[in-house]
Amino acid sequence: MDGEYNILTIHLRLDKDYKLSEQAELKETVRSKLKDESIDHITIEFEGQDEKCGLEDC
């Protein structure tokens, strides 16, 4: 937000129900895939299959 500290907030739609421990593993997988992208902080939120996104054309 200050032009030097890069942040990313993403919502990932899950294809099935995952245990909390599995969700933690998924988050770590995403973070590790993005580690070389110069992102200083990543916030990951999961969306279940039955949840509806508030945006159009999600």
- Position 53 scores a pLDDT of 72
Distance in angstroms (rounded) separating the CA atoms of residues 56 and 29 = 28
What are 43's strand-pairing partners?
Answer: 9
Backbone φ and ψ of 32, nearest 5°: -70, -35
Instruction: For the chain, 58 residues long, give each residue's pLDDT as a single digit of tens.
Output: 567 889 999 999 999 999 999 999 999 999 999 988 989 999 999 998 888 777 766 6
- Position 31 scores a pLDDT of 94
Residues 6+ apart with CB under 8 A from 27: 44
Positions of E strands within 1-58: 7-13, 41-47
- Position 57 scores a pLDDT of 67
- Domain locations in the chain? 7-47
Enter the tokens of residue 42. Answer: 């990543």
Name which of 48, 15, 50, 9 is nearest 30 in CA terms: 9
